[in-house]
Amino acid sequence: MITDDVVVERDLTARMRDGTILRADVYRPARGGPYPALVLRTPYDKAIAQTSAYAHPAWYARHGYVVVVQDVRGRFRSDGTFVPFASEAEDGNDTVRWAAQLTGTTGQVALYGFSYAGVAGYMAAAETPPELCCAALACASPDLCDGWIYRGGALQLAFALHWFVDLLAIPEAEARGLRGRAQGLVGIVSDLQRRSLREPLITLAAEHLDELQPLLAWLPAEPHCSGLLCPPLRDLERIRIPILNIGGWFDCFAKGTVASHETIITNAPDSRLIMGPWFHAPWTQLVGERDFGVSAVSKVDHWQLAWFDWWLKSEGSPAGGLPRARVFVMGSQEWHDLHDWPPAGVSEQTWFLHSDGGAAHAADGKLDVQEPGDEIPDVFVFEPRNPVPTHGGTWLGVDEATSAGVREQSIIAARTDVAVYTSPALSDDLEILGTASLLLFAATDAASSDWVAKIVDVHPGGQSFNVCDGIQRVVRRKATEMSQLVVPGEPYECEIRFAPTAHRFKAGHQVRLHLANSDFPQFDVNCGNGSQSGGGIPSYARPVTQVIYHQTSRESRLVLPTTNKVLGEEYVPTSV
């Protein structure tokens, strides 16, 4: 008994369809029943039960649920071999059916969990086990090719090393008594924290794996995910149960969370979306250097409880009293309830890039709604050995506590390898809600370049804070889903999609755009040949000349999804 009113059973065994035994801890109300079951499946130790984001399972048990927390296949107390995502659809389906038959349950089951557990939940829901009634899944990107290991064709280096090394390999090595391997991997993490560029960190990590294969042999070498166990987003179209999709604007999986919701509502129209101002975890009011106020403190446990009560017990308000979408609008520091997502009433507003040729070295770049004429392009040099450092944004890694979220951007804007374009002071509030994009006309003398874009809110006092970011790797090789074919030296156009956001630029503020060719260690450094550097700088790396055009027929432009005004019934401020 964990408390007087909650009983816990450790290491209950569930046999999967291939005979592999998985183990779970089960938390039950001490009295009464039967109760519905909640299932959380995690590769990060069922004893922790993702309490960095959620209330302890005993809290849910105390509110009338049998809570099942299971180690996925090959992790901690469960048998089998762990290969990321390889068995989660089938094992998730089998676990739901097993949980529905536990003594003291009603036979009704819901899934919950965030990050890997969220993806595992989507995969299980797509298998449509009949006992599964609903789910609440958070901060997860089912598109493992664009949004998990890669984004816009670039390797998410900090996340890849944090996930593979910190969260998977080191605990695995320690569990197997491979202390030498564990210590070597810890050294790789230290190199990343020092932002070392001496050797490819991914390669160094691989040299310490040996006995840990096939744990990390899964790491794909290219962003098109050839051979990768990659459940496509379209698999979510099979989901028929209502899902509460939860995410944060500064989470590295913000794009995936929103895309999942937009896919799922087609066939599960009772699904809901909640987006806070948070990064991956924890979900608090302090996100980097910005305190969003007490209203930004997570109420996810209470929202989930109301959601489960309605679908599993028919208690409370329909759909837990949640609107179609509830989003936190940064800048106004308010939650807003929407009748739909994407919201009605949002329109595209185009801002064109201008300068006298010195957007990078003289900070003379401008943003306005007037189309450019015959203007001088911006020309600057990118030095791979001195990449632009990650400073704020939608990323996850070993350095996120000091670099993720909202950060003051003056130190980045001052670099001569970052082109900066700034609007006049706004006469009225400007609100963006959704996914912004940048159509960029550029040229380079290398075979490949990354373009990293960042939208920034400039305050009247001169301080500037990042709002959202995006990246696109442009490569001279066979075009794939996430790469674009170019010829060195010839002008080309490139579209960069930003992470989704909700932000209000207040009157008197300015909209600013940063354009750079690196963001390290969030992404590996593109050394100009189109190959993944893995975090190191090879001998062939050399300075690269970059050109940004803004002239007739080459009109580089930022497209913002703007509300222009409060959207009446479609856009309702709420107190939560």
Concatenating the DSSP letter of every residue in 86-128 gives TSHHHHHHHHHHHHHTSTTEEEEEEEEEETHHHHHHHHHHTT-
Burial of 269 (0-12, 13-18, 19+ CB in 10 A): exposed
Highest mean pLDDT: which range of 101-110, 145-154, 161-170:
101-110
Rounded mean pLDDT of 342-354?
91
CA 303 vs CA 136, 141, 234, 250, 465: distances in Å: 9, 21, 27, 20, 30
Burial of 459 (0-12, 13-18, 19+ CB in 10 A): middle
Tell me 166's DSSP state: I
261 vs 275: CA distance, rounded Å: 11
Same domain, residue pair 469 and 389: yes
Q: Would residue 224 count as lying in a domain? A: no
Predicted pLDDT at 158: 84
Write out pLDDT tens, residues 87-98: 999 999 999 999
* Opening angle at CA 75, ends 73 and 80, nearest 5: 40
User: Strand 365-368 to strand 492-497: parallel, antiparallel, or no bridges (unpaired)?
Assistant: unpaired
Domain-terminating residue out of 166, 181, 212: 212
Q: Does 149 have pLDDT greater than 90?
A: no
Same domain, residue pair 513 and 557: yes
Same domain, residue pair 502 and 474: yes
Same domain, residue pair 438 and 480: yes
Q: Does 571 have pLDDT greater than 80?
A: no
Write out pLDDT tens, residues 191-204: 666 666 655 666 66
Write out pLDDT tens, residues 526-548: 888 766 666 667 767 789 999 99
Same domain, residue pair 508 and 362: yes
Q: Would residue 314 count as lying in a domain? A: yes
Same domain, residue pair 304 and 356: no
Residues 295, 333: contact at Cβ < 8 Å?
yes
The CATH number covering residue 100 comes to 3.40.50.1820
The CATH number covering residue 398 comes to 2.60.120.260
Predicted pLDDT at 104: 96
248 vs 279: CA distance, rounded Å: 6
Tell me which of 176-180, 231-235, 313-317 is least confident: 231-235
Tell me 453's DSSP state: E
Q: Would residue 576 count as lying in a domain? A: no
User: Total structural domains in the chain?
Assistant: 3
List the beta bridge partners of residue 366. Answer: 354, 422
SS (H, E, C) 457-508: EECCCCCEEEEEEEEEEEECCCCCCCCCECCCCCCEEEEEECCCEEEEECCC
Highest mean pLDDT: which range of 141-150, 278-287, 521-530:
278-287
Structure tokens at 206: 């691989």
188 vs 201: CA distance, rounded Å: 7
Domain-terminating residue out of 303, 321, 338: 338
Q: Would residue 451 count as lying in a domain? A: yes
Same domain, residue pair 175 and 191: yes
Domain-terminating residue out of 285, 313, 338: 338
Write out pLDDT tens, residues 118-148: 999 999 999 999 999 999 999 998 777 778 8
Conformation bin of residue 76: beta by default, left when phi > 0, alpha when psi is -120 to 50? left
Q: Would residue 515 count as lying in a domain? A: yes
Look at the chain and count its residues.
576
Q: Which amino acid is at 60?
A: Y
Rounded mean pLDDT of 29-50?
96
Task: Give the three-class secondary structure for 60.
Answer: helix
Residues 424, 305: contact at Cβ < 8 Å?
no
Confidence of residue 478 (pLDDT cuts 50, 70, 90): very low
Residues 140, 115: contact at Cβ < 8 Å?
yes
b vs e for 85-102, b when ≥16 Cβ sit within 10 Å of the residue's Cβ?
bbbbbbbbbbbbbbbbeb
Write out pLDDT tens, residues 227-272: 445 555 678 999 999 999 999 999 999 999 999 999 999 999 999 9
Please give the radius of gyration of the chain, using alpha carbons only, rounded to the nearest integer: 24
Residues 424, 510: contact at Cβ < 8 Å?
yes
Q: Does 575 have pLDDT greater than 60?
A: no
Same domain, residue pair 427 and 520: yes
Q: Would residue 301 count as lying in a domain? A: yes
465 vs 562: CA distance, rounded Å: 19
193 phi, psi to nearest 5 deg: -65, -35
Q: Would residue 483 count as lying in a domain? A: yes
Same domain, residue pair 173 and 136: no
Same domain, residue pair 116 and 180: no
Same domain, residue pair 245 and 198: no
Structure tokens at 489: 């030296």
Same domain, residue pair 133 and 265: yes
Residues 304, 136: contact at Cβ < 8 Å?
yes
pTM for the structure as a whole: 0.92
Range of the domain at 300: 6-143+233-338
The residues near 19 (Cβ < 8 Å, ≥ 6 apart) are none
Q: Which amino acid is at 368?
A: D
Q: Which amino acid is at 264?
A: I
In angstroms, the first-to-last Cα distance of the chain is: 34
399 vs 158: CA distance, rounded Å: 8
Q: Would residue 568 count as lying in a domain? A: no
